[in-house]
């Protein structure tokens, strides 16, 4: 296969997988099954599930009643755009690693055709030599969070209508936003997010989630959930395993939202200019609480009550 064909096939496969949150989540998981040494792929799949669950929350009870349509659309677009951007940047990296394995030679210089940072081109070259799985995992976390900073987090419209809006600030302050790793036993593990607009905080969260996902005591449970449970975007994917769940509260993603077409200036993705990034490779601080089953049920009840109060006050 010629270099031109490899670039073309990589572009076609990336576009095909970047249709919506469901397709992205599935592609990441399938890649991890084939190449488990690239641990970031499983992390990306599990975090992408969380993105889908947040999206359908906006069309489920009680948020649909509590938030106006325009506010919910901005929240959806912010998550969808970040989800799309990360896949557009990362999936060509994964595919070119696959080609590099197939031909037993590094082909990461071709990432320039996909506007991937020089930082990641160097990190993939390093990984191909050293097989340092932990460093590659951290490097991909660093890269993904920088990729979305300028075009999403710092975008004037998203800043105005999302990250500086009352619903987002409220969820940030009271830790209603949480990244969950479910199990088919009904237990939930994860960490809550806060100060989401700061790239350093998101990278630290990513490292904590990676630590949890591949912890020898829990990894098998999370992998079993990933392999067994088809991602629909609805929180019922995992709530059906929980004792207190009685019915579906959020819809399927593909019935709730249309396919979104994205356009972005590739310069918006450029973030690496030779800055030092060594500080991000330090091991993360791990909170004492990692099982969130009871915490989650309590927070869901609080959110439901608050939304009912807001609806009543209208």
Amino acid 89: pLDDT: 96
Which class for 307: exposed (0-12), middle (13-18), buried (19 or more C-beta within 10 A)? Answer: middle
Using a pLDDT cut of 90, give the percent of the chain over it.
72
Q: Is the dihedral of CA 160, 52, 95, 120 positive or negative?
A: positive
DSSP structure string for 24-53: HHHHHHHHHHH-TT-THHHHHHHHHHHHHH
Amino acid 67: pLDDT: 79
**169: Cα within 13 Å, side-chain hemisphere:** 6
pLDDT of 12 > 90? The answer is yes
Stretch 104-123: mean pLDDT: 96
Cβ neighbours for 200, distance < 8 A, ≥ 6 positions apart: 280
Stretch 102-125: mean pLDDT: 97
Strand residue runs (E) in 148-242 = 178-182, 188-192
More confident residue, 154 or 170: 154
pTM: 0.93
Angle of CA points 115, 121, 126, to nearest 5°: 170
pLDDT of 166 > 70? The answer is no
pLDDT confidence band for 235 (50 / 70 / 90): very high
């Amino acid at each position: 296969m010629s270099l031109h064909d490899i670039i073309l096939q990589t572009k076609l496969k990336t576009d095909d997988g970047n249709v919506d949150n469901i397709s992205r989540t599935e592609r990441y998981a399938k890649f991890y099954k084939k190449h488990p040494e690239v641990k970031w792929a499983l992390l990306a799949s599990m975090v992408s599930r969380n993105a889908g669950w947040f999206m359908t929350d906006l069309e489920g009870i009680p948020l649909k009643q509590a938030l106006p349509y325009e506010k919910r659309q901005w929240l959806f677009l912010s998550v969808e755009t970040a989800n799309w951007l990360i896949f557009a940047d990362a999936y060509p990296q994964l595919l070119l690693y696959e080609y590099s394995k197939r031909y037993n030679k590094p082909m990461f210089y071709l990432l320039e055709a996909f506007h991937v940072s020089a930082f990641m081109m160097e990190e993939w070259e390093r990984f191909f030599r050293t097989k340092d799985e932990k460093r590659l995992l951290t490097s991909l976390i660093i890269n993904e969070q920088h990729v979305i900073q300028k075009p999403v987090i710092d975008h004037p419209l998203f800043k105005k209508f999302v990250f500086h809006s009352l619903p987002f600030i409220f969820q940030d302050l009271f830790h209603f936003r949480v990244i969950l790793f479910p199990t088919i036993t009904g237990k939930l593990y994860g960490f809550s997010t806060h100060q989401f607009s700061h790239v350093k905080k998101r990278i630290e969260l990513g490292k904590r989630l990676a630590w949890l996902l591949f912890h020898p005591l829990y990894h098998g449970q999370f992998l079993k959930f990933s392999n067994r449970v088809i991602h629909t975007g609805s929180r019922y994917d995992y709530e059906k395993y929980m004792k207190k769940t009685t019915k579906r509260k959020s819809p399927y993603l593909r019935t709730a939202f249309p396919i979104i077409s994205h356009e972005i200036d590739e310069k918006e993705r450029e973030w690496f200019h030779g800055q030092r990034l060594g500080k991000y490779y330090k091991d993360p601080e791990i909170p004492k609480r990692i099982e969130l089953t009871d915490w989650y049920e309590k927070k869901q009840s609080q959110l439901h009550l608050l939304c009912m109060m807001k609806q009543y006050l209208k």
